[in-house]
Structure 1
Amino acid sequence: MYERVLVAVDLDDTLGSRILMRRAAEMAGETGARLTLVHVRPDLPHSYSRALPDAWDLEQQEAAERELEGLAGSHGCGASVDGVFAPAGGIAREVNAIAVKLDIDAILVGAHRMDLGRMVLGTQTTAIARDAPCDVVVVRAEEPGD
């Protein structure tokens, strides 16, 4: 069904990442889909970034990319991964920009529990889906206590 799938991973959400990667591995195994993994790092205010060493941002990006590769490998879908990205910026904007650039067929993204802040401000999942250039598959938590 989908040949090129962008998996939007929140590396700060261990349980959600595990559930999302399990589904990504299933898609790759069932349909032969090629996966691209992305984790969007928060953009630091300019005043903070001036105080950090010059190589700090690149080191953070490379560490996140290694973590994405490890996550894919630990879920048995490392061979299906065409690339990993860890840009800094707005989550929905960066995810959708990568989807456009790579001509992605579907974005796989996790659903989080709703809380008051998300109901008032919206969610990144909603923002990705609203502006996506392709289908968005929302993976819901499936383990007890999620």
Structure 2
Amino acid sequence: MPHPDKSFDLGLAIHVVEHVEHERMFLREAARVCEKLYIEVPLEHTRDLSKAIRMSGPYGHINFYTTQTFENLPKTSGLKVERLKVFAHDLAYEQHLAGEKKGWVKHRLRTEFLRFAPKTAMRSMAYMAGALCSSR
């Protein structure tokens, strides 16, 4: 990037990394120019990975993450993970995709499943993960 080191206080890589062929190179360069970096990805590496690949392929997703592989990514890119959170898609997004009533039900099921059985939920359904990171 054509910017000096630490030119920005915060960089955002929201729904970017799943599209990047060399994600560690990308993150190292983003960390070079940013004091902190927020990274957000879909957690699509579930029990039905083949479905995720089929559904996300047309949108250019080439990387698929679990919570563990996502947490490892910044660490192996020279970043320190300050906070990582897993969460469901928001209600408006679910309703946009599935309609008002069905979207509400899907959002509610996904949110409650994550709350009561997080490990099983993340192996079974796609969620989002966000990490606030800083340079080491």
- Report which of the two has the higher share of strand: 2
What is the TM-score when the length of structure 2 is the normalising length? 0.34
